[in-house]
Amino acid sequence: MTVKPIAASLLLTLGLTLTACSSVSVPPPGGFQPPNASYNEQWRPKLHYTPQRNWMNDPNGMVYLNGEYHLFYQYNPQGIKWGHMSWGHAVSRDLIHWEELPIAIPEAPDIAIFSGSVVYDRNNTSGFGTTANPPLVALFTGWNKSNNNQSQYAAYSLDQGRTWTRYGTAPVLDIGSTESRDPKVFWHAATSKWIMVFARATDHKVAIYGSTNLKNWTYLSDFGPLGAGTAPGQLWEVPDLVQLPIDGNTANQKWALLLSINGGTLWGGSGMQYFLGNFNGVTFTPDPLPAVNEPGGVLYQDFEGSTYGSWTVTGNAFGAGPAQGTLPDQQVVTGYRGSRLVNTFLNGDSTTGTLTSPDFVIGKPYISFLIGGGNHPGETAFNLIVDGKVVRSATGQNEELLRWNAFDVTALQGKTARLQIVDTHTGQWGHINIDQIVFSDNAFTENDNRVLWADFGRDFYAASTFDNHPTGDKVWIGWMSNWQYAEKVPTYPWRSAMTLPRKLTLKTTPDGIRLHQEPVAALTTQHAASLKFTNLPLSQMRQNLTAAGVRGKTLEVLLEVDTTGPGSIGLKMHTSAFEETVLQYNPITQKLSLDHQKSGDSSFDPGLSEVHVATLRNTGTLKLRVVLDTSSIEVFAQDGKLVFTDLLLSSPSSDGFELYSSSGDPLVKNLEVYELKTIWNP
Ligand code: FRU
């Protein structure tokens, strides 16, 4: 593959071309008043913030002051796609009900206003206000439309965020880069200074700077590359650095670096990872990443021989035997085991062919394997063939790192099968890397390894925390979409919603210390009709639910269920004769899965009909909290240790939820169901 020119990478991410930015008209000073929308449009969220109309992406500058929570955000005042980036604005007194205000910081003739943060400068260190009336100070990225430079600018407000004055026309920090953005600033009491973290997107680094007045910034250190999103073409964006108590003990705290990445995520497109570690006022030192586990089971093929042995080769992409790592002109290949792997970059991307195993009988429920290379379903693929048909298939993620993946073949045990590695793609990323095929008892996927994912869904991005939260809690809000398809989501006249505000904590778990997230307590003010049952067998709970006739699109479900039996337990949500979204826990494989194959509209991107799977250790009791809105689902499992955030575009007639178990009648310790009132028409 060839590496994309750096200056164009953000635009490519956004699906834009450079020419799209040539002519700019500026919204009128004093802001823009959107017309009233009905808030009853199909898929208009009833509990999540959306602007009345037009395009929105990252939340920006979240800050609390004098009874108000401010939410600023990337906003296009002129259309329903990305462009004319300005800071939209909404305020809330409880983090649940929002009032949309006029645009806070409009696009300027010289620069577009990209993501950033706001701090409450209570001691007027900046001198922008007075001791009696300290300022709110915004630090944001200005994207210079004439030369693509991205540098950090300041603006301030002395009237509760209603109007903003830019601090001169020059940036406060310019490192001469076209890929440095998204400053997040906080006060570091231990060293009495402001700290700014921002992303050096294509270098896969977070830059850390310090200041005593928010105007003059001094370089302190860099963090990265580490974890996911570090391959060429992938981006690091919107970092945040927060200190959180462990298990509620404020005397025992740890730092978390929260990071958005575009590319190299679990399900494609954009997503979020985090790092735990220590910050000493200068450097963030990460703790070791979680260990790479290997799947237990029978090793079927490790491709360590100098020939393919009994496997059959066609075409010219495979050569006489497994490759010894990276091939000429290839980016560095990593993640394979031993010294050889299958690597079809032989003589570049243009070569093609197949490599087919002998027949074998499927004896274990999973086939685990390491896969890397091109993302071309069916064309750079690893296939399982039964009765001459491809019954399972996987592809790479356009990166040379091999990651674990697995086929669930439980239903195919006893069948005769073959594995086939296919490379028919001749363009960019026209190759596939495969290694270490293991017949295993458990699904084994990369999700378990190396990376701490903040969210196991597809639609959680650019989240950052509130400054000056009244109780000191760390609360964040994310953008509930994915750059892979954000501009195609079929909502009108607005596009994109924010997630629910979520409180962040750290808790000790059997896997180590992990980030936990739960919706802020004020969500309960939206509870309407409710049901609560305790300590009944699941079959009885089902009957109670049927008798109560639980329906509706906007629901909160709390479930606590015994998982010591072998059967899978789950919820079917937004159901109708033709649609359902299934959340299921399998206590044997210890996997929680969210199945979107029949969820609703996925016409604009196949990603909308995927099954998302994550490992969740079986502790004998599964605790789920699910918040369903008209067009989204947020799942908080085990007190928010594992979160899925996904768009869910079900049809108007699909609603409600059902409980089920695949076998046995497990004890449901607690079931609470709440209808949720809309936040728009109280
Ligand atoms: C992340 C991002 C930021 C940038 C903003 C532009 O979603 O690409 O890096 O500041 O969006 O709207």
Task: Assign 443 a pLDDT band (cuts: 50, 70, 90).
Answer: low
Helix count and strand count (H, E) for the chain: 2, 44
pLDDT digits (tens, 9 = 90+) for 566-594: 899 999 999 999 999 999 999 887 889 99
Same domain, 422 and 566: no
Same domain, 127 and 267: yes
Q: Are 615 and 290 in contact (CB under 8 A)?
A: no
Is 115's C-beta closer than 6 angstroms to any atom of ligand 1?
yes
CA 399 to chain CA centroid, Å, is 18
Same domain, 277 and 415: no
Other C-beta atoms lying within 10 Å of the C-beta of residue 663:
9
Is 238's C-beta closer than 6 angstroms to any atom of ligand 1?
yes
CA distances from 245 to 276, 471, 636 (A): 12, 13, 20
Other C-beta atoms lying within 10 Å of the C-beta of residue 136:
24
Say which of 58, 455, 467, 629 is annotated catalytic.
Answer: 58
Higher pLDDT, 105 or 31: 105
Total of domains in the chain = 3
451 closest CA partner among 578, 322, 290: 290
Same domain, 257 and 330: no
Same domain, 495 and 601: no
Does residue 10 lie within any of the structural domains?
no
Same domain, 58 and 162: yes
Is 58's C-beta closer than 6 angstroms to any atom of ligand 1?
yes
Pocket test for ligand 1, best of 238, 265, 477, 484 (most atoms within 8 A of CB): 238
pLDDT digits (tens, 9 = 90+) for 92-141: 999 999 999 999 999 999 899 999 999 999 999 999 999 999 999 999 99
Does residue 282 lie within any of the structural domains?
yes
Tabulate helix, strand, coil % of the chain (nearest 5): 5, 45, 45
Is residue 121 among the annotated active site residues? no
Is 182's C-beta closer than 6 angstroms to any atom of ligand 1?
yes
From the alpha carbon of 461, which atom of ligand 1 is closest? 7
Does residue 25 lie within any of the structural domains?
no
Same domain, 479 and 545: no
Domain that holds residue 434: 298-448
Same domain, 250 and 110: yes
Pocket test for ligand 1, best of 11, 54, 56, 58 (most atoms within 8 A of CB): 58
Same domain, 251 and 353: no
Is 114's C-beta closer than 6 angstroms to any atom of ligand 1?
yes
CA 390 to chain CA centroid, Å, is 30
pLDDT digits (tens, 9 = 90+) for 58-104: 999 999 999 999 999 999 999 999 999 999 999 999 999 999 999 99
Same domain, 252 and 385: no
Burial of 246: CB neighbours in 10 Å, binned 0-12, 13-18, 19+: middle
Same domain, 434 and 457: no
CATH of the domain at 199: 2.115.10.20
CATH of the domain at 429: 2.60.120.200
CATH of the domain at 653: 2.60.120.560
Gap between the Cα atoms of 669 and 536, Å rounded: 7
The least confident of 4-8, 430-434, 600-604 is 4-8
Cα of 591 from ligand 1 centre, angstroms: 33
* pTM, rounded to two decimals: 0.81
Same domain, 440 and 460: no
